[in-house]
Amino acid sequence: MPLQNQYGVYERTNVQTADQQKLILMLYDGLIRYLNKAEQKIAAQDYEAAHNYLIRGRNIVSELLATLKPEKAGEVGKNLRNLYVYIFNRIVEANLAKDPKIVAEVVQVMSTLREGWANMKPQTRRHQDPNARISISS
């Protein structure tokens, strides 16, 4: 089996066996990675590659929004939804303007949010998980 196929199998297994917190962190990590690459491509004036990375990042935010269940998390869920909408819109703006400052702002916000999720205790997460139905398709 080629190495790339082995990696794909590993990733699918990793996703299928992950708990909700790990899935959310994986999405955040992917988003931050794509945004960092987009920022680098903008600096290198490779706007097509930057566009592609920003689209990938936007798609991750769309997945986060689609799977968010704010009614199960009350005010926290509503605030998280508003934040995801803001991030989505800022990524669109960054893509239109090819503005690395907007990308850096989004990376900062998402990194802070990721840190909060990473530090959340399991018993808290179980009762307040607004992303109760995260699904990732390959």
User: Does residue 49 contact residue 41 with C-beta atoms inside 8 Å?
Assistant: yes
User: Does residue 113 contact residue 107 with C-beta atoms inside 8 Å?
Assistant: no
- pLDDT value at position 15? 47
Thinking of the domain 3-128, which architecture would CATH place it in?
Up-down Bundle (1.20)
pLDDT in tens, 71-122: 887 888 899 999 999 999 999 999 999 999 999 999 999 999 999 999 987 6
Domain-wise residue ranges, the chain: 3-128
Distance CA 106, CA 104 (A): 5
pLDDT in tens, 3-58: 665 545 444 544 454 588 999 999 999 999 999 999 999 999 999 999 999 999 99
- pLDDT value at position 74? 84
pLDDT in tens, 115-128: 999 998 764 444 44
- pLDDT value at position 62? 97
- CA 86, 92, 93, 99 dihedral sign is positive
Better pLDDT: 132 or 94: 94
Q: Which value, in Å, is the radius of gyration of the alpha carbons in the chain?
A: 16
Residues 6+ apart with CB under 8 A from 105: 90
Is 90 exceeded by the pLDDT of residue 69?
A: no
The model's confidence at residue 2, banded by pLDDT at 50, 70 and 90, is low
